[in-house]
């Protein structure tokens, strides 16, 4: 086998990651011991108390990928807490793709807050309820990011699609590599009912749990991507789109579980809705 072919195959292989070991792939970056990697790297927990929250990030940066994480959210009275799981680049004109889980009083549903930033500008919020209790068990939250679209999914069901509409003048994040981040922190000035419900510190510490991190992605290192154009079948997610069944499930979620959509908020945008809301 020629060396060039072998190198191309090895580079293509790098983009296909198996279920990760947190010790190998994740760094707990803040929280002074409140973030813990357990069970030989198979489980990670983040904790919030009155003094601090905690957070982690991926050791690798990625330029496109499909990122999966199984999360069990803070149970009980989680009002005022926010658990985040997102992609973000560096700098003042960063790109970012967000999942944020806004806690609530016991028995009341979580709010799933999503947003897309490009060049440091966001304001593209959509919010959802879930069709299950996300504190009882682990559920998989996925971000598919390729040059054509970003798809947010829960247990394989798409809840949001943000398409590349650069042809209509809408910025799309595709030039800046991003890391995976997650955090658990106190945001009781806004997170629950606009800040009306405060964190009940008698319930602390609050804990969110993570497992089954998978990054099937193009690792970006030293200005180069690990993905090889010679093996597109290994990187099928690079051109993945929603099939008919997935589109049907997306409409079901948005009809029954979406509680806010910036694309219908005419009071917020009196001068006209953002371009991507009318270009579809």
- Over residues 199-242, the pLDDT tens digits come to 999 999 999 999 999 999 999 999 999 997 655 557 889 999 99
Per the annotation, the verdict on 276 as an active-site residue is no
Residues 121-144 have a mean pLDDT of 97
Residues 156-166 have a mean pLDDT of 97
User: What is the predicted pLDDT for the residue at 253?
Assistant: 98
Residues 156-180 have a mean pLDDT of 97
Q: Which long-range contacts (CB under 8 A, 24 or more apart) does 109-118 make?
A: 110/73, 110/78, 110/134, 110/135, 111/259, 112/154, 112/159, 114/152, 114/159, 114/160, 116/150, 116/162, 116/173, 117/88, 117/173, 118/171, 118/172, 118/173
User: What is the predicted pLDDT for the residue at 229?
Assistant: 63
User: What is the predicted pLDDT for the residue at 280?
Assistant: 62
Percent of the chain whose predicted confidence (pLDDT) is above 70? 91
Per the annotation, the verdict on 125 as an active-site residue is no
Which tokens go with 276? Answer: 């991507």
User: What is the predicted pLDDT for the residue at 9?
Assistant: 39
User: What is the predicted pLDDT for the residue at 154?
Assistant: 98
Which of 100, 125, 161, 276 is the catalytic position? 100
Q: At 239, is the secondary structure helix, strand, or coil?
A: helix
Which of 61, 96, 161, 276 is the catalytic position? 96
Residue 10's pLDDT band, with cuts at 50, 70 and 90, is: very low
pLDDT digits over 43-64, tens only?
Answer: 999 999 999 999 999 999 999 9
pTM for the model stands at 0.91
User: 151 CB contacts (<8 Å, ≥6 apart)?
Assistant: 142, 143, 144, 158, 160, 161, 162, 240, 242
Mean pLDDT of the chain: 91
Residues 245-258 have a mean pLDDT of 98
Asked whether the predicted pLDDT for residue 156 surpasses 80, the reply is: yes
User: What is the predicted pLDDT for the residue at 25?
Assistant: 96
């Amino acid at each position: 086998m020629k060396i060039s072919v072998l190198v191309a195959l090895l580079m293509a292989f790098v983009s296909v990651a198996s279920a990760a070991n947190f010790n190998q792939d994740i760094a707990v970056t803040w929280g002074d011991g409140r973030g813990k990697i357990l069970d030989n790297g198979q489980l990670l927990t983040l904790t919030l108390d009155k003094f601090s929250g905690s957070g982690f990030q991926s050791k690798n940066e990625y330029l496109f990928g499909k990122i999966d994480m199984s999360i069990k959210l803070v149970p009980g009275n989680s009002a005022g807490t926010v658990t985040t799981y997102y992609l973000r680049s560096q700098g003042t004109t960063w790109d970012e793709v967000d999942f944020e889980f806004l806690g609530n009083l016991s028995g009341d549903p979580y709010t799933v807050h999503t947003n897309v930033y490009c060049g440091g500008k966001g304001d593209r919020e959509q919010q959802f309820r879930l069709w299950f209790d996300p504190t009882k068990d682990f559920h998989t939250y996925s971000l598919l990011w390729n040059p054509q679209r970003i798809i947010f999914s829960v247990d394989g069901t798409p809840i949001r699609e943000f398409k590349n509409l650069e042809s209509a003048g809408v910025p799309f994040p595709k030039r800046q590599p991003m890391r995976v981040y997650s955090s658990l922190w106190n945001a009781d000035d806004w997170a629950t009912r606009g800040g009306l419900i405060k964190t009940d510190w008698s319930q602390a510490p609050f804990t969110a749990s993570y497992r089954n991190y998978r990054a099937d992605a193009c690792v970006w290192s030293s200005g180069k991507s690990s993905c090889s154009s010679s093996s597109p079948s290994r990187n099928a997610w690079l051109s993945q789109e929603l099939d008919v069944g997935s589109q049907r499930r997306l409409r079901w979620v948005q009809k029954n579980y979406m509680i806010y959509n910036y694309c219908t908020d005419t009071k917020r945008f009196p001068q006209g809705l953002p371009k991507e809301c009318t270009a579809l």
